[in-house]
Chain A
């Protein structure tokens, strides 16, 4: 079972944090990541997002490519300052490949916790649009990193127009 943890794409600034939309660049980044994953024949059974707009929009773009027809699921408690341990407990019993779209610092802390048991180990640098694929450790406790992409890696080096 793969757990694909995604940080939302770059977002526009706005007065209400919960309503901030993806910027054109953020949208293009997530679309490139979705396209790339689809070309690698990655698909998932569930797509989950936080209660914030930018995570829902990110989930929507990924679902269109990787989980056509699948209903998005909103999950509370994975907002930027959500509860990492509660989330890990939830994920422990999941058995289908699942995308979870969320935020920093939550995603970095969740990955650190899942991999090492310490949410504050700072194991990963999670830029906007990053996707991290974890699988359960076949020989012990916890989860292992299988691959990790940033939009920069998928889209190639930064160009002038970016």
Chain B
């Protein structure tokens, strides 16, 4: 099974809008990543987000490319500073491929924990909109690929 870890795309600053929706760049980056995922034939069984506007918007844009369902799901335990226990457990018991859209430092900690068993040490250099594909194998999780908006051409 696969676990896709996504950092929400670029968002407006708190000063511009306290809700922090995606910026123009964020919307365009999310659309680029959606086109990339579609071209790569990525399909997931579930797509979850933290409930924060920037994560939900990113999840909604990506969901059009990778998911047949109707609405993305907000879950607890995906906040920037939450414990990684909950999502890791969900991923381990999930029957299919899961995409989770959230924040730093959570995503970097979760990626490190899946790969090495420890949260400390930033092994994967996220940027807003980046997608990391981890695949669960017999011996544990391994990195299959990683893509970032700055490496995807405009649609």
Contacts and interface: CB of A to CB of B under 8 A. Distances in A.
Contacts of A123: 115-116, 123, 142-143
Nearest to B41: A157
B153 A40 contact: yes
Contacts of B143: 123-125, 145, 148
B47 to A, nearest CB: 20
Contacts of B147: 147, 149, 153
Contacts of A40: 151, 153
Q: Which of A124, A135, A145 counts the most chain B CB atoms within 10 A?
A: A145
Contacts of A128: none
B140 interface: yes
Interface stretch (A18-26, A55-63, A84-92, A114-122): A114-122
Interface residues of A, number: 26
Contacts of B115: 115-116, 121, 123
Contacts of B146: 145-148
Interface in B129-143: 135, 137, 139-140, 142-143
Contacts of A142: 121, 123
Contacts of A150: 144-145
